[in-house]
Structure formats: structure tokens, C-alpha cells
Amino acid sequence: MRHAMTMPARTGWRHRVALLGLVLAMPVHAANDLRLDQVVMVYRHGVRSPLPGEIQVDDVHGAAWPAWPVPPSILTPHGREGVMAMARYDRAWMADAGLFPRDGCPAAGSVSIWANTDQRTIASGQAYGDAFAPGCGLTVGHRPQDSTDPLFNPVAAGAVGWDGRAALSSIRQATGGPDALTDRHREAMTTFARVMGCKPGDTPPVCQPATWKGHLGLSDDGKSLTLDGPIAVTSGTAEAILMAYLQGMPPDQVAWGRFDPAAFRALSQMHALLFDVHARPAYVAERVAALLGKRIATLLDDPNGPRLAVFVGSDNHIVALASRLGIHFQLPGYAKDDPPVGGAFVITVWRSGDGKRYVRTAYEAQAPDQLRQLQVLDLAHPPGRQALVPEACRADPSRCELGTLTETLRRSNVGAGP
């Protein structure tokens, strides 16, 4: 997570749609005239170790945090296997839809993978390529590791204009401020306090969810946002615990044995609240997703582009992109608008017999226990899938012309960087 700033016979179309979970209903006259033409996916990296400084709340009574098998911020071997499971599943459903052969190497240039510059995103991208087309040598494009890629971080790269006061106004308008956000989720905060070991009478702020307040403001130079209080403090700590669970750590090493499915969703909620500040509000989302959205639109508009384009980034990239499209999502086990680890926002393009192209969107991700246990994924045992309808497509979700989506992705008023 970053803070802001030779082809088998084609199966029937209706079967493919049911498989992908991309459409809730479709007119009968449309059942046999569409074929899958192109896929773009924006993946979140797989399970990683905690980031430096991510854990900001210790167990109230001083218990130690679990040890990780890799240094901070690194994709774990377990995380790599989870990514590969998703890639194998993607190859299966795309082959079932006739986009790729079931086995062997895809045609040269038909698959593109581009990752952000973190080790965890680059390694996740490579794991995806290795599993999607084993032995085919798919490579992951990326800028030098740990450099700033404007595609994923346009604000930090100075590729878009940024006004701290405008950002603050947009966040306040969208959320009512950090206290308004936490007031709606005091139950999740109470669960977080329990997980951290709070008992009646304990006085640390984390143990007083009913009165713990936050503040959102500007830095002294007026350029950066400052956030303190529950959202700032709990989000990363919650994420570290979720990662430990998904990593498959023994129960006594996940939140000191004070963890259960209900706690997973509550901590997911605390993690997701950060995006309500740093990714989803209109002014912020437009800038965070500006270059990535335009790149996706360019790929979708190119008839000679790759049949599959995969971008591997982080949670905030997905939330910002979803916000641009007017989409909310919630996958099994997770809170609303919290991007699951190793999951993907999926855009599929379908071509009709007369050459017209239509677009649909979905989210796919492993449920927490699927990833924790590294369950095998296939067409009979799929990950979670949620059909999504972009705001611009709601007039006719079953026949949303491609240009309707790409126009939204291109539209922006982000200005130029300083």
C-alpha cells in the first residue's frame, strides 16, 4: 500500500459470461453474437511482509509481533504461489472463452505485463507471467526498481498538477472528514481494540474507540496532506495482521490468537478507510489514476494491441481507478472497497459479428481462506467474482460500447506538473 501522494473451438457466449460473472442478465437475442476480444487487468500484488513503519500500534500488553520469512516489503514465497494460482485460473477462463490456447505459449506480443517499481509488484508480475504461460519466458516491463513510475505515481513524479487545498476540500466534501468516517465504523474500531489486546480500563487511544478522534489538514507548505488519529494509525497495523493471516501463519501468530473471520472483515474496514481519504475522493482519484487510465484506454482502442494486458500495482491504484469509473466493489471476506491481496480489477472487451466492441468490468480475487490455504483454483473451483457496472454504462450494461468506457478513462482535468 502507498499513501498519497491454435485455438480450441469457442464455447457458447452465455457459458462464458456465466463463468466470468461479468453480467447479471443478458437479452436472449445477444446470446451467440459476441466473442471475447481483449482483457485488461489491474492486479494488486500478492502477500508481502509488512512495510517499514506500517505497524503503528503494538499489542497493548507488549506481546511480540510474528517473524516474517523475508525482509520488509517483499513478496513472500506464499504470496508468489497465490499470484500463480490466480494466473493459472485466468489462463483457464480465457482459454475457455477462446482468447488463448489452453496450453503452450501465447503468440508473440499477445500478452503484456507492466509492474510498478516495488520488488513486490515486479515479483508478482513475474510470478503471474511464469504461471500464465509456463516456460514461455514472459517478461515483466517496469522502470528501475524503487524509482518513481509516473504511470503509477503521477503526483510524486510531478506528472500532474496538485493543489493541497483543492485535495483537502474534495476529501472533506466526499467524506465529511476523518471523524465522520470513523463514526460510521465504531464497531470495526472496537474489534480492532479487542484484537490489539485492550481490556476494560485500558487507557491508550486504541482502547477508547468511542472517543478517539482524528485530524486531516495540510502541511506547513500547503502542498501535502496530514492525517492523524484512528485511520492513520490503524490502517497499516490492520493490514499487517491481515497479511499474516493470508500468509498462512499459525493462529497463535495472527493477532496473538485473537483473530477470526469477523475480525478479518473489521480490520479490512479499518484498512479501507485510508482509501476514502487518499484515493477515492474525486480530486485525488482523478490524479492518482490519470496516466494509468489513459494507458488502459489507449490499449483498449488499439485493435493491434495485446490480447491481455496486466498492470501490477497496489491497492490505491485500484481504488482510484474504480472511483474514476463510479464503481464500488466488495469481495468475499473483505470490507467494501478494500482491494483484496492478489486480486484484480478486470476489463473485458467483447466483439460482435458486425465488428462492434462492447466492454464489461468485474473484480476477481481469492477469498481469504483460499489464499491462506493456497487452494487450487480452476473453472470448477474459482476465486470470488463480482460483476461491476461503470457509471457511464448503467443505461445499458449488457451493451456498453467500448468508447463509453475509454472516454471516461481519458477525460481528466489534472493540469501539468510543476
For the cut 70, the answer to whether the pLDDT of residue 23 exceeds it is no
Range of the domain at 401: 13-158+285-410
For the cut 50, the answer to whether the pLDDT of residue 246 exceeds it is yes
Q: Are 265 and 364 in a shared domain?
A: no
Q: Are 89 and 233 in a shared domain?
A: no
Least confident of 28-32, 85-89, 414-418: 28-32
* 1 in a structural domain: no
Average pLDDT over residues 356-373: 97
* 99 in a structural domain: yes
* 45 in a structural domain: yes
Q: Are 38 and 133 in a shared domain?
A: yes
* 252 in a structural domain: yes
- C-alpha–C-alpha distance, residues 37 and 247, integer Å: 35
Q: Are 330 and 201 in a shared domain?
A: no
For the cut 90, the answer to whether the pLDDT of residue 418 exceeds it is no
Average pLDDT over residues 372-393: 97
Instruction: Quote the number of domains for the chain.
Output: 2
Q: Share the mean pLDDT of the chain.
A: 91
* 258 in a structural domain: yes
Q: Are 228 and 294 in a shared domain?
A: no
Q: Are 305 and 340 in a shared domain?
A: yes
* 253 in a structural domain: yes
pLDDT digits (tens, 9 = 90+) for 270-295: 999 999 999 999 999 999 999 999 99
Domain boundary pick from 219, 252, 278: 278
Q: Are 133 and 20 in a shared domain?
A: yes
pLDDT digits (tens, 9 = 90+) for 392-417: 999 999 899 999 999 999 987 776 55
pLDDT digits (tens, 9 = 90+) for 34-50: 999 999 999 999 999 99
* 417 in a structural domain: no
* 6 in a structural domain: no
Q: Are 271 and 367 in a shared domain?
A: no
Q: Are 154 and 290 in a shared domain?
A: yes
Domain boundary pick from 245, 278, 311: 278
User: SS3 for the chain, per residue?
Assistant: CCCCCCCCCCCCHHHHHHHHCCCCCCCHHHCCCEEEEEEEEEEECCCECCCCCCCCCCCCCCCCCCCCCCCCCCECHHHHHHHHHHHHHHHHHHHHCCCCCCCCCCCCCCEEEEECCCHHHHHHHHHHHHHHCCCCCCCCECCCCCCCCCCCCCCCCCCCCCCHHHHHHHHHHHHCCHHHHHHCCHHHHHHHHHHCCCCCCCCCHHHCCCCCCCEEEECCCCCCEEEECHHHHHHHHHHHHHHHHHCCCCHHHCHHHCCCHHHHHHHHHHHHHHHHHHCCCHHHHHHHCHHHHHHHHHHHHCCCCCCEEEEEECHHHHHHHHHHCCCCCCCCCCCCCCCCCCCEEEEEEEEECCCCEEEEEEEEECCHHHHHCCCCCECCECCEEEEECCHHHCCCHHHCEHHHHHHHHHCCCCCCCC
For the cut 90, the answer to whether the pLDDT of residue 221 exceeds it is no
What was the pLDDT predicted at 398? 85
For 103, other C-beta atoms within 10 Å of its C-beta total 11
Q: Are 124 and 91 in a shared domain?
A: yes
* Domain containing residue 29: CATH number: 3.40.50.1240
Q: Are 301 and 245 in a shared domain?
A: no
Q: Are 122 and 185 in a shared domain?
A: no
